[in-house]
Amino acid sequence: MIFTPQTYKLPDIPQQPFIDVAEIESFLRGNKPSTKEVTEVIVKSLNKERLSMQDTATLIKADDAESVALIKQAARELKRQVYGNRIVLFAPLYVGNYCMNNCAYCGFRAGNKEAVRTTLSREQLIREVEALEDEGQKRLILVFGEHASYTPQFIADTARTVYGVKKGHGEIRRLNINAAPLDIEGFRTVKEAGIGTYQIFQETYHPEAYKRYHPSGPKKDYHYRLTALDRAQEAGLDDVGIGALFGLYDWKFETLALLRHVNHLEACYNVGPHTISFPRMQAASNVAFDKQYAVSDDDFVRMVAILRLAVPYTGLICTAREKAEVRREVLQYGVSQIDGGTKLEIGAYAEDLHNEQNLQREQFHINDSRSLHHVIEQLLDDGYLPSFCTACYRKGRTGEHFMEFSVPGFIKRFCTPNAIFTLAEYLEDYASEAQQQKGYALIEEQLARLEAPVAAQVKATLERIRKGERDLYL
Ligand code: SAM
Ligand code: SF4
């Protein structure tokens, strides 16, 4: 018998959703753990054993000052071991804000009549990408509202256009996507355009809360969204990013639910998400925000440290929604990727659109509007190695975070050299003289920590970059 959508019938076994509210709530109940219990979980994590839901709940419930200090210290140590001092940089590029949904928290929601709706034309898109390349960006994430006109083919065509824009030494080497959930065929179409990560945030994993925030439009369907990245996997798109919008529901519940989502993807597809995002609610055009579940800075930092310990090899992203000081703080405890030079108003990279009317073209307000130059300056001052590296993805080494974690010496052999190369390119092509000096001083420090043969190889490659060669990687 040939199965068609009409003849195929799902077996009559009740499908178990992988988010079980009662299960998550049961982990969060109970007494505060003792320092001994917290320490045991921390030791397990530092020994590179994966934490269970129960272990992670132990860390979440430990809110006394001593336990929190232990958790943060351990997260800092684990981060250093797994990632070294690299920080990956990217920028978001908003393509269009037409939207059929009515997410209560978002300036783009269909019901917000004050939103100025636009979709970048091909020419505008090219101008935006050129402006981003002129700043030194190499990695972008394209962001779309959810609308019938943003079809998989449109997303794929947009990606191909972006990859095709090359200005001077500028080019975009990795393009991630944040857009609506697709069907399997749709994910296939987008994958064929050579995208990196496809990000979809569940917003809140709590079904009842989800219902309240998503009254209409396709996004109303909690389950279709929850299973989106399963369809991506079915389509062969195994590089996916998950996230929750913090402030919609209890952060403790969302943190455990994110871990449950990671476990689900690992169990079913043998590969966890590439990244986890944890945007916090920000003010947005015509949004009345109920503060009941607002997450304090202290809890936000704690949550990042706990996630770091729970999922050591998953990239953690903190965007310019957060203030510079908060970003600086969470970089210590787990965040591995940040955006720099971010502008959310559609079309704002190429034109200066910072006026009142154009504020209506942004989805929400950001709190870190520093230029890429300034973000890099602070990273260098703090001893981080800014990286635009795209090597693993282009060499087909998917699951690279797992390699970083599990292959001894992987960071020193591959990650640090590649990060150095991309920083050197940036310094040569886009940095001021003062920043060049600062950047090369940091590179010298890094070289001193590499084994002699690797350091020699890196020095030789740096010489080629100084002479004008580009896109060299291991
Ligand atoms: N329309 C697609 C969707 O909803 O999946 C694309 C994503 S939307 C343009 C990007 C993300 O921004 C959302 O998934 C949501 O988590 C976040 N977001 C929306 N409104 C926000 C707000 N007021 N403050 C902070 N983040 C917000
Ligand atoms: Fe539309 Fe996404 Fe905003 Fe919801 S979050 S209104 S789907 S753009």
Q: Residue 427 pLDDT > 60, yes or no? A: yes
Which band of pLDDT confidence, cut at 50, 70 and 90, is reported for residue 402? low
Say if residues 319 and 338 touch (Cβ distance below 8 Å). Answer: yes
The 10s digit of each residue's pLDDT in 44-81 is: 999 988 899 999 999 999 999 999 999 999 999 999 98
Cα–Cα distance for residue pair 120/132, rounded to 1 Å: 15
| Cα-to-centroid distance, 333 and ligand 2 (Å) | 30
DSSP state of 280: B
Domains of the chain: 5-19+80-370 (3.20.20.70), 405-466 (no CATH)
Of 45-49, 60-64, 205-209, 337-341, which gets the smallest average pLDDT?
A: 45-49
Q: Of 167, 81, 77, 86, nearest to 391 (Cα)?
A: 86
- Based on C-alpha coordinates, what's the Rg of the chain? 22
More confident residue, 360 or 153: 153
Say if residues 100 and 51 touch (Cβ distance below 8 Å). Answer: no
pLDDT recorded at residue 1: 35
Mention every residue, 6+ apart, whose C-beta is less than 8 A from residue 281.
105, 245, 246, 247, 248, 289, 294
Say if residues 64 and 270 touch (Cβ distance below 8 Å). Answer: no
Cα–Cα distance for residue pair 338/313, rounded to 1 Å: 16
Q: Of 49, 34, 35, 137, nearest to 350 (Cα)?
A: 137
pLDDT recorded at residue 8: 43
| Cα-to-centroid distance, 42 and ligand 2 (Å) | 37
pLDDT recorded at residue 353: 55
CA atoms within 13 A of residue 333's CA, in its CB half-sphere: 25
pTM over the 0.75 mark:
yes
Which band of pLDDT confidence, cut at 50, 70 and 90, is reported for residue 385? very high
- Amino acid identity of 111? G
CA 350 to centroid of chain Cα atoms:
24
- When pLDDT is averaged across residues 202-223 and rounded to a whole number, the result is 97
| Cα-to-centroid distance, 106 and ligand 1 (Å) | 6
Cα–Cα distance for residue pair 278/201, rounded to 1 Å: 9
Q: Residue 374 pLDDT > 50, yes or no? A: yes
DSSP state of 350: T
| Cα-to-centroid distance, 99 and ligand 2 (Å) | 6
Of 312-326, 366-380, 389-403, which gets the smallest average pLDDT?
A: 389-403
Say if residues 385 and 419 touch (Cβ distance below 8 Å). Answer: yes
CA atoms within 13 A of residue 373's CA, in its CB half-sphere: 10
Say if residues 301 and 330 touch (Cβ distance below 8 Å). Answer: yes
Q: Mean pLDDT of all residues in the chain?
A: 91
* Ligand 1, atom 1, residue with closest C-alpha: 145
For Cα atoms 146, 164, 232, give the angle at the middle one, nearest 5 degrees: 40
Cβ 132 under 6 angstroms from ligand 1 = no
Q: Of 178, 184, 207, nearest to 108 (Cα)?
A: 178
Residue recorded with tokens 């609506």: 180
Cβ 282 under 6 angstroms from ligand 1 = yes
Mutation choice for ligand 2 from 97, 105, 108, 364, CB with most ligand atoms inside 8 A? 108
What is the distance between the terminal CA atoms of the chain, rounded to a whole angstrom? 50
The 10s digit of each residue's pLDDT in 108-117 is: 999 999 888 9
- When pLDDT is averaged across residues 173-201 and rounded to a whole number, the result is 97
- When pLDDT is averaged across residues 288-308 and rounded to a whole number, the result is 95
Mention every residue, 6+ apart, whose C-beta is less than 8 A from residue 115.
97, 107, 108, 109, 285, 360, 361
- When pLDDT is averaged across residues 282-291 and rounded to a whole number, the result is 83
Q: Which two tokens stand for residue 149?
A: 């006109």
Length of the chain: 474
Cα–Cα distance for residue pair 396/7, rounded to 1 Å: 38
What residue ranges line ligand 2, CB within 6 angstroms? 99, 101, 103, 106, 108-109, 145-146, 219
Count CB atoms within 10 A of the CB of residue 48: 13
Q: Which two tokens stand for residue 215?
A: 């009254």
Residue recorded with tokens 């969470």: 330
State the DSSP H helix or E strand holding residue 236, giving kind and residue range, or none if neither.
none
Cβ 224 under 6 angstroms from ligand 1 = no
Cα–Cα distance for residue pair 227/217, rounded to 1 Å: 17
